[in-house]
Every structure is written in C-alpha cells, then in structure tokens.
Structure 1
Amino acid sequence: MTTPHAIVIHAAGDLRIDPIAEPRPASDEAIIDIVYGGICGSDLHYWQHGAAGESLLRAPMVLGHEIVGIVGRAAADGSGPAMGARVAVHPATPAAEYVRHPADRPNIGGGGYLGSAARFPHRDGAFAHRVALPTRMLRALPDAVGWREAALVEPAGVAWHAVSRIGDVTGRSALVVGCGPIGLLAVAVLKARGATHITAVDLHDRPLEVARELGADAVLKQPGDAEILAIDADVVVESSGSHRGLDTAIRGAARGGTVAMVGLLPSGAQPVQISFAIARELDLRGSFRFNDEIDEVIRALADGDLRIDAAISHVRSWEAAAEAFALAADPTVSSKVLLQFREA
C-alpha cells in the first residue's frame, strides 16, 4: 500500500502536498478511499488569505469537504455501508447541544465541519488518499449517480437548502445573482423544483454560458439599474457574496418577494438598498450550509430530476493541486474544479 498524501494549507499562499499517517479509525468510523474532491470557495479563501470569514488558520490543516469515495474498510461496530460501497460525505458534525435555535436546524448551531479552521485544534478535511470518517457522515450512492456528479452533492446541498429557505418555487420567476459554483447549482435546483423563468446575473461571460446549460432562461452580464429593476423576480438567490450582488438581489426582487442570501459577505457593515426591502416588504432570509438536503440531492440525481454535470469545468490529478487551485480561483475560465485521487 502506498503512503497516503494530503493537500495541506500551511499559511496564506502556502499549499503543499504532504505525506500523512495511515488513518486509525474509531469503532464507528470507516476508511474511505477518496476518488474525487471538489475545490470549494472556503478552500480558496484559506489558500489565498489564510482565513475563511472569521475562521483563521492557526496551524497546518488538510483541506477539503466536497468528497466522494469507496469504503476501503467498513466500521468495526457494524454501522454504515459495507466495504466496497460508493459513498458521498456529509461533512458536518452538529454541536452536542443546541442553544437558542430549533433542534431541527443543526446547521446554525455551531459544531464542526471537515476542513474548517473555525475551532482549534482545526478539523482536518479529506483531500487525501485515505481518511477515517464517522459512518453517520456517509451516504450510499445509487448506481444511477455517476462519480463526477456525486462529487457535487455537498455544494448542491447548499443550493438546495437555499431554495428550501425560500419555500415552494413552483411556477415562480427566479433570479440568481452570482454564477460561481453555488449560484450555478442554484440555477439547476430552481429548474428541478419548478421555477418557470430563471434569470442569472454575473460579471463574466463563461459562468453565464454554463448557467444557460443548467437551465437559466435569461442571462445578464453586469446589468444596469434599469435592467435589474425590470427583472421583478418572485424569488432570488444571492450567491455572489458581495454587497453589490446583494444590492442587485434586493432591487431585482418583485414586491413581496423573497431573497435567500447564501453568498457569505465579508464582516462589517454593507452598503445596500435596504429601503427597497422595507418599502417592498421583501423577505430576506439567510442560508448557511445545509442539514439533510444532501439526501434529497442524491435522490433527485438518481431520478434524473436534477442535472448538474455542466457545472464541472476541470478535473485535475491531486498531484496538480497548485494548478487546480489557480484554475478554481479564476471565474473567467472555470466553474467547479475537481481533484482526482484515484481511478473510479
């Protein structure tokens, strides 16, 4: 057996491929041989800035939480999928106690996440050849779900949760602001869940081309004020993570509309047209990660109701991690970039 390696962030701009020890699973953990890992915006933030939002990197950390693989060794306690099963991973560990929020919303109650520096010691991620993971994180993949689309179930779960925060979108017009990977997947989810006319907005041509492939009926590149106001969408998903994008989302919403804010803005005050939200009685709803929507995504992929393959722009070997991260950081040439750790 070859020595396992992992993609490790040591500091801002310091991404390395390091040898790691063989995983030593607890009784309720399985050994997962990783096949694909998707590079997330948070991975890019740790690489570029040494932080993702308020989560500051204080020690070297294995990146990666968008992962799929094969059970190389089943859990000793008999829980979870058998050896050889194809699995996706739910990367969250809910907090042991829920404080001042409903128990059915563990995503807002703290807890851990693979590849996160929110706590110290940090929680290593799974951009590695082999990792030990609790069986509660594992989701068996139906045969109908291919490896590459399966690698997108975690970010698609984020998009599914954002649309769920809005409610029933059947027959409603929709606007997606920001066509990075989450915005593109939000287009696909809105399409799958019955939105009738979807408009996508971005700063670049390529993301808008992909948005059309995923179901957008109209696309706008850097629209002006009049174009934004004319959108008049019943529901909006803001996924740019910028104050300009949030302002566009607010002004592009119809009176009485709902805006799901999934793009994570920087800390501090944000200059947006809140007066529009007040006068038009908009519902502004935060959306953070997801709960069990990953299971709904897997079912929708297996049924053929959700199609997300077009969101993948590049696949690179784990040995070319530096190139892959540089690609993922350039929205003019890429959308979702996958790392491949072994042949499927």
Structure 2
Amino acid sequence: MLLAALAILAGFALLIWSADRFVYGAAALARNLGVPPLVIGLTIVGMGTSAPELLVSALAAWDGNPGLGIGNAIGSNITNIGLVLGATALVAPLTVHSKLLKRELPLLLVAMLFGYWLLSDGRLARAEGAALLLGLALLVAWMVWSARRARTDDALAEELLDEQPTPTSTAAALGWFALGLLVLLGGARMLVWGAVHIAHTLGISDLVIGLTVVAIGTSLPELATSIVSARRGEPDIALGNVIGSNLFNVLGVLGLPGLIAPGPVPHAVLTRDYPLMLALTLLLFVFAYGRQPRRINRAEGGVLLGVFIGYECWLYWTA
C-alpha cells in the first residue's frame, strides 16, 4: 500500500511537469515548422492540461482496466466544474463575456448528451469510441475555423496566442518533446499501477478510484491554472480552461477506453456519475447565463464546490 501510494504521488508530479514540457516542445516544434500561432494555441496548448487524462486513460485501458479510464474521464469533468470552478469563483467571481465561451458551453452540453446516448446501451464499443474521437477531431477543426473568423473578438483566442513558447531551436524543441512524452508515459504508468493496486487491496472498483483519486490528481493543472488566471483578472481563461478540458475529456479521454478495450459500462456510471456530470454542467450553464452581466459569483461557486464535496462523500460511503 505504501509503495502504491508513493507511486501515485510520484506519478502525479511527473505528469504535471512532463505535460508542461511536452506542450512546450510540441508548440515550439510546430512553430518552427511554420504552423500558424493560432492553430498552435487552440490545439497543442489547448490540449496540454488534458494530456495527463489522455495518457492515464489509454494506459489503463491497455492494461485491462477500462473502468479506471472511464472514471477518470467523468470524474475529471465533475472535479473541473465542482472543485476547480467552485474554488476559483470563491477566490474571484468569474465574469463571462467571451463570445467563444458562449459558443463552447452549449457545445459541451451537446457533446455530453452525445456521449450519454452512446453509453446508454450499457456498452462502450470500439465504433462508439471511434465516434467520440472523431467528434474530438471535428471539435478541434471547428475551434480553429471559428477562431480564425473572429480572432480579434475572442479573449480566449488572444490569450492562447500569448502562450506561445519562447524561440528555441528545432533540436531543442524535439528534445523537450521527446523527454516530455517519455516522462508522461512513465508518470501515467506509475499512477495507473498504484491506483489499480490500491483498488484491489481495498476491495473497491477501478471505477471509484478513477472517479476520485485519479480524477482529482489529473485535474490539479486545471485547478492551478484557473486560480492563477482568476487572480490575474482573466476569468475568461479560467472558464475556458475548464470548458475546453471537459470537451477533450468527454470526447477524447472517454473515447480511448472504447477504442482500446471495448466492453460493458459499469451501471453506476449511467445512474450516478454521468447524470451528475450533466447536472453540474447544466448548473454551470444556468449560473453563467442567468443574469446581466453574466458571471459566476462566490455564492454560486460555493454551491458548485458543495455539490462536489457531497458527491465525494457519497462515493466514500457507498464504496
């Protein structure tokens, strides 16, 4: 148990560090190859905070633990809205004014409903996993096309343009990219091994470990980024990080287990976890669009955080 817990902690630390280096190297390499900065910002940089979830989900499914990957995808979305946005709004109320965010939040609801429809038969087949990943590819293409049409109006796109890496040689970019990828894989491997070992030792399901320990740990980059953005007076970025990450999770992280290890979906996912994820997203929609000016205040942040804490307690007692 002690070794497994240390593996989880080390895996989290390696994932957080390596995701940053992986994104830095990939973005610098893309820029050196002539990829437009806006495309880099909305794809490579935008996917950066979801890289840990993607690797963990893929390795868990490859090792025969798809429940851990499914739990990671859904649990990360619940954590992002309940813990990340809830805690961020308590630090600094979030004013919503970006046109890009107004389009992305309804799109997130559509993506989640699409995912639930695919899972509603109790199985995640390979074709359904492929459909979710195709949806992710279409989403990225739409984001780039949309941002190019309205780049001067979208605060999120402008901020992503500011996140470009400092100039570096192609050799150095390749080095950071390769090192980041290798450490990402190593960190994800340690995390999956430790999580599965603890789950088996305690006699609880991989799904619950994915929904709790793994989901919270892989959401730490979003929590740090969102709180820093809110304190700097950039609430669009705090919201944008969460909405973008949740879109990647429901389409990419949830799709990978189906593509790699298709099989049955735990009944609790359809009756407890996925409905709560949808309910939190609808609650966020109501809070964000319920008044003028549109904002998520501290009281509403407290509601989101309270729902998250109640859900974690529910999982604890039922597990």
Which protein is richer in helix relative to its size? 2
Higher relative contact order (CA 8 A, sep 6+): 2
TM over 0.5: no
| Structure with the higher strand share, 1 or 2 | 1
TM-score, with normalisation over the residues of structure 2? 0.25
Structure whose alpha-carbon radius of gyration is higher: 1
**TM-score, normalised on structure 1?**
0.23
